[in-house]
Structure 1
């Protein structure tokens, strides 16, 4: 296993990623991995994030990317000097193919268990979208993950993996089973709270109306409120551009631009706009 200090010293700071990638870039476009802060690294593509948290007793990955993007993710983990077989778990954001479509491949090449929400668990086990997903019917099925490899977490209850601690927060809306993850990373004696906030965009199939699902909209708003209240020194998102990652890298300042509160406010405003448009149709 690579030493954490050696990996951190050899990792790019994100300059190469910002040069190679554009805003809202292709989901499977290969990108170089880079160091975010402390034990946290970005190992995804130009268009889809995947986050590695490297611990001395094993590592944790958040999201796999697409079926093809997962190959980039595993390659990037190796580029940093780590090995996929030292992954102890993969955490999920939301249950769509662009973020978890490669879970089966990551599991096959690492043996890592997969932790997800109770609502997303049957989606991962079957590869089929839930009927109450606003985007139901829009996407092809995913390759299922073996049921023995997947288990559900309880939102609001921290999970500890290989000495690393993560808090899952329920943030439904974009999907019923979406999770946001919060953890702490430290370097040079200074610790920062990092939040990987779900997409939370009100996107749906043409025949879906959010205004017809009052309980779902309330759960959506409750999740946004939880996100806005989080301690959040560094904000990351499944689509890098949703939180302005490239701008942050170019500014060499992770705390510039969007934070959890402003991101939640933006997603809430977009939901309000969607509901208003539905009211005029």
Structure 2
């Protein structure tokens, strides 16, 4: 296999000066719970799930991080070629730029929300934003999933929950970790932040407001013992100079707090854009 680090070196730099330095700051991998290990950078998450038939990677983050993620996967005891699936939460550059490099380095199949497939395969993010278009290397999607579809590798099954709004194909993934007295519910929530999306007059995504409302409401119905967001600061695990505490992700109150904040922020952004 070709090294992801070598591929990333040929990828144009897509970050702007305003992007947080933590997005590309290296982070040593650390176990979270059961088969799940954090392998992303300090500021953008990527999660490795070990199964009896290989491993699953959730998100690829930035091209600059691809080599680090590959090394973190190896440090977690998984050969890169044993990564069989890469699940993409959504087609924005900070989570999708590194996917093409990691797919080529591992040979993994890429799975993403059906409504984001076109964006991923053209390298053009969907919808209209206040910050313009930030393109990324296109990647072939081997399977597009819709709400309720299941993805199984070995002894692990994840369920896709469609949470459109942030992008049309934004996909929240859920799974269970065996435990007593009951399995632990794990949720990898796709973002429901507005984050520059045009809510009013979005010709490329006219249903964006209704999608946000449905997705925020749906996330509010999910139970999560463990919440693993795309940006780890949502779980308060960013602490420069300190060891990360995996227990920060283990909090049944975290998802309701994320949903409440998203609901209030969405209402505020919609009101501002409606003026």
Instruction: Indicate whether the TM-score tops 0.5.
Output: yes
Deviation at 1:202, TM superposition (A): 0.7
2:258 is matched with which residue?
A: 263
Residue 33 of structure 1 corresponds to which residue in structure 2?
29
User: Bigger CA drift: 187-196 or 171-180?
Assistant: 187-196
State whether residues 87 and 112 of structure 1, in contact with CA within 8 Å, keep that contact through their aligned partners in structure 2.
yes
Q: Deviations over 1:236-274 (max 9, x none)?
A: 111111232347954945334852222111111100010
- TM-score after normalising by structure 1: 0.81
Q: Could you tell me which residue of structure 2 aligns to residue 276 of structure 1? A: 271
**d(CA) in 1 for partners of 2:109 and 2:79?**
15
Distance 1:168 1:273 in 2: 28
Q: Post-superposition shift, 1:190?
A: 5.9
- Shift in CA distance, 161/106, structure 1 to aligned 2, threshold 3 Å: same
Tell me how many residue pairs correspond in the alignment. Answer: 250
Q: Secondary structure at the match of 1:68?
A: helix
Q: 1:222 maps to what in 2? A: 214
**What is the match of residue 17 of structure 2?**
none
Displacement after TM superposition at 1:137 (Å): 2.8
What is the CA deviation profile of residues 193-229 of structure 1, one whole-angstrom value per residue up to 9, with x for unaligned ones? 1111112111226xx3x13467321111111111111
In the superposition, the TM-score normalised over structure 2's length comes to 0.83
Which residue does the alignment assign to 2:60? 64
> Structure 1 stretches of 5 or more lacking a match?
1-23
1:178 corresponding residue in structure 2: 170
Unaligned runs of 5+ in 2: 1-19
Within the candidate set 142, 157, 169, 1:165 is matched to: 157
Counterpart-to-counterpart distance in 2, 1:134 and 1:249: 33
C-alpha distance in 1 between matches for 2:130 and 2:173: 22
Match of 2:200 among 193, 205, 211: 211
1:73 aligned residue: 69
